[in-house]
Structure 1
Amino acid sequence: MNIQLSGHHVDITDGIRDAVSQRFAKIENHYPDISDLSMALTVERHAQSVEATTQYKGATVAVHAEEQDLYAAIAEAARKMDAALAKRKGAEASHRHTRSVV
């Protein structure tokens, strides 16, 4: 998976890159169809936020997480992304067996 990181008021260090790759490795294993993931990390005075966006089966999936610690925000964004992709995967599977009208 190609992860594109951008920072607003923060320099993207190797530690941040490692934390993102570790947290999103599970998503990469569960959803191999995802090729690109773009993330924007924002650091403000009392809150750090992460916005992650990707394309999955023709739909845009975006999540936003905000915490007081940047690494906690990255972990929360990974958890929310996993839940959003699971919901999208379930919606895709529910339309698979539609009945025909006779």
Structure 2
Amino acid sequence: MNLNISGHHLDLTPPLREYVKEKLKRVERHFDHLISAEIILTVEKLQQKAEATIHASGANLHAAAVAEDMYAAIDMLSDKLDQQTRKHKEKLRDHHNHEAHKRMAVQ
């Protein structure tokens, strides 16, 4: 997966960059058809904001999180992305519809 991390009004330190990469590994574990991800970390007054757009096969996922601490915002962002990727993966599987077709064919 191509990963692009940028910071607005923020010095992007190596530990912060590594923390983002580590958190996105969890998302990659659940759904391996990710093409690219763009992460934007922003500081505005007292708010720390983390935004992400992930391009996956069949969908573009977007999430944002705001907190007083940048690491907390990244944690919330990764949770939201993880939930979206699991939901997208379930839509691709669509087990329920397949079982309904089997029952109709038997009758």
Which category describes the TM-score, using the shorter chain as reference length?
Answer: 0.7 to 0.9
What letter corresponds to residue 45 of structure 1 in structure 2? K
Describe the SS at the equivalent of 1:24: helix
Cα deviation for residue 44 of structure 1 reads 1.1
Alignment: residue pair count:
102
Please give the alpha-carbon distance, in whole angstroms, between the structure 1 residues aligned to 2:63 and 2:69. 17
Q: Please say if residues 30 and 85 of structure 2, whose CA atoms lie closer than 8 Å, have aligned partners that are also in contact.
A: no
Cα deviation for residue 16 of structure 1 reads 0.9
After superposition, residues 25-44 of structure 1 pair within 5 angstroms as 25-44=25-44
Q: TM-score, normalised by structure 1?
A: 0.88
Cα deviation for residue 30 of structure 1 reads 2.1
Match of 2:51 in 1: 51
Q: TM-score, normalised by structure 2?
A: 0.84
Q: Does 1:15 align with 2:19?
A: no
Please give the alpha-carbon distance, in whole angstroms, between the structure 2 residues aligned to 1:37 and 1:23. 12
Match of 1:70 in 2: 70
Cα deviation for residue 26 of structure 1 reads 1.3
Match of 2:89 in 1: 89
Cα deviation for residue 83 of structure 1 reads 0.1
Please give the alpha-carbon distance, in whole angstroms, between the structure 2 residues aligned to 1:16 and 1:5. 10
Please give the alpha-carbon distance, in whole angstroms, between the structure 2 residues aligned to 1:99 and 1:31. 26
> 4+ residue stretches of structure 1 with deviation over 4 A?
none
Larger Rg: 2
Structure 2, unmatched stretches of 5+, are none
Please give the alpha-carbon distance, in whole angstroms, between the structure 2 residues aligned to 1:89 and 1:32. 10
Please give the alpha-carbon distance, in whole angstroms, between the structure 1 residues aligned to 2:85 and 2:30. 10
Structure 1, unmatched stretches of 5+, are none
The correspondence for 1:99, drawn from 92, 98, 101, is 101
The structure that is helix-richer by fraction is: 2
